[in-house]
Structure 1
């Protein structure tokens, strides 16, 4: 007999439970920003064989959540591996739904908590899966400009250095968001890492452009902003041919050896001045 069950889970736990019990593609329809973020977090954390996650969303939600560099970088990793396939459409169901091969779960979000009503009525599940799978097939693929975060970390470790990569990870762990509205976007963070490790501007900006993080011009403009705010300084390093290159360092030498939290606090103070 078909049954229904009231669910009351943290959204990440809910996705983990689904991942553990199904190998068929999971269809996620019209996720809220919280639900989409939870899906990406759960997928990155999951250590087993992950089903393909087919997401049908409106056009704005991916723009909102992928504005955050870390979220977008994780999503890019999942998309590169074929584990996440987000598509967008102008017309999408108003309710948030999770649909697997044998169950459908409408989701209701209240102040960040997610409650759903799980149904395994085979006729209902099949009908919903058919309808929304067709909509997903006909929707537009969501693309990302952000490179996979694993690639950013790996290439920084190889091209810039182990210490720089460790600092980069610690900064990402310490900040709440890394987006265009925050003082610390991804290019700013990379330049702080470079200054902390006395890396050449040429090296960090070339790496950033090669990994598709940002153009050399963007690195240069951001470096100028940090200089103007008295955060970083440069020293000329002669080379055999051509103009001298610039080595980055903190204007305040005490920041070179400061802890990550102390360094970020001081940087934020100077950016807000």
Structure 2
């Protein structure tokens, strides 16, 4: 029989539940913090991760997945079969984590988070059957962000190891990557690390479109905005046939002097 869990954070509660789970889990009507914490825990989980079948409000999923850092990790989990995301029709009374042998309701109060467990085996079995059925019947959530592992592999192969290393360094320095004033989006990050390494706009935008980050047009518009704001410069590179291509350069000494871990914070200050 499962026991009630009382922890300091949502992440601590969820990690305890995953450690105790004996099979797959249906995660019903989670809030944004639960989804982000599940993704963060699952990508680095040490042990046999139970399959996480997330049944959540589609508007909430879209909002959470607007953060590239969360979405790219979630896409890895989806690709590997560790997580499935589906749209909840209606809602539940609480955030639930339901397995064949366990049922928890996650409740936050003041500075603590609890997972309150059910102790009736028949009720748990009925709840699992109910919510597993709702999950199986639900619409699959369209996660458009490519998996972070694919991004890293193709960036390494198509653009270069140094650019991939700088890309990783920028991501590690960020708490969010939304591009809404709280962080830099994935296109801006890609262009900045490309400029740090003197990469052609054509090459980074083609890579970005091929891997599924954004279209070439989006890369071009973002480049223009960054150039107008002084973050990026370009120089023309002649080619044998057609118009010259543009080589990206960092446009400010503070950016040129920054390492990959500092690049995002310097760029963020300049953009704001």
Q: TM-score, normalization: structure 1?
A: 0.92
* Deviation larger for 21-30 or 193-202: 21-30
Deviation of the 1:253 alpha carbon: 4.4
Q: Which residue of 2 aligns with 1:96?
A: 95
Report the CA distance shift for 1:188/1:4 in structure 2 as closer, same or farther (over 3 A).
Answer: closer
Is the Cα–Cα contact under 8 Å of residues 4 and 118 in structure 1 kept in the other structure? yes
Report the CA distance shift for 1:223/1:240 in structure 2 as closer, same or farther (over 3 A).
Answer: same
Is the Cα–Cα contact under 8 Å of residues 56 and 87 in structure 1 kept in the other structure? yes
1:137-176 equivalences in 2 (<5 Å): 137-176=136-175
1:193-208 equivalences in 2 (<5 Å): 193-208=193-208
Report the CA distance shift for 1:86/1:263 in structure 2 as closer, same or farther (over 3 A).
Answer: closer
Deviation of the 1:112 alpha carbon: 6.8
Q: Aligned partners of 2:162, 2:59: CA distance in 1, in Å?
A: 38
Q: Tell me, what secondary structure is at the counterpart of 1:172?
A: helix
* Deviation larger for 213-222 or 138-147: 138-147
Is the Cα–Cα contact under 8 Å of residues 24 and 51 in structure 2 kept in the other structure? yes
Q: Which residue of 1 aligns with 2:54?
A: 55
Q: Which residue of 2 aligns with 1:124?
A: 123
Report the CA distance shift for 1:21/1:6 in structure 2 as closer, same or farther (over 3 A).
Answer: closer
Per-residue CA deviations over 1:235-268 (Å, capped at 9, x if unaligned) read 1111122111111001224532422354334322
Q: Tell me, what secondary structure is at the counterpart of 2:3?
A: strand
* Deviation larger for 227-236 or 87-96: 87-96
| 1:242 corresponds to 2:242 | yes
Per-residue CA deviations over 1:137-185 (Å, capped at 9, x if unaligned) read 2211111110001111111111111111111111111122111413511
Q: Aligned partners of 1:101, 1:71: CA distance in 2, in Å?
A: 28
Q: Tell me, what secondary structure is at the counterpart of 1:176?
A: coil
Q: Aligned partners of 1:250, 1:205: CA distance in 2, in Å?
A: 16
Report the CA distance shift for 1:58/1:112 in structure 2 as closer, same or farther (over 3 A).
Answer: farther
Q: Aligned partners of 1:143, 1:112: CA distance in 2, in Å?
A: 34
Q: Which residue of 1 aligns with 2:30?
A: 31
Q: TM-score, normalization: structure 2?
A: 0.92
Q: Aligned partners of 1:248, 1:6: CA distance in 2, in Å?
A: 55
CA RMSD of aligned residues (A): 1.8
Q: Tell me, what secondary structure is at the counterpart of 2:4?
A: strand
Is the Cα–Cα contact under 8 Å of residues 56 and 92 in structure 1 kept in the other structure? no
* Deviation larger for 250-259 or 20-29: 250-259
Deviation of the 1:4 alpha carbon: 6.2
Q: Which residue of 2 aligns with 1:192?
A: 192
Q: Which residue of 2 aligns with 1:110?
A: 109
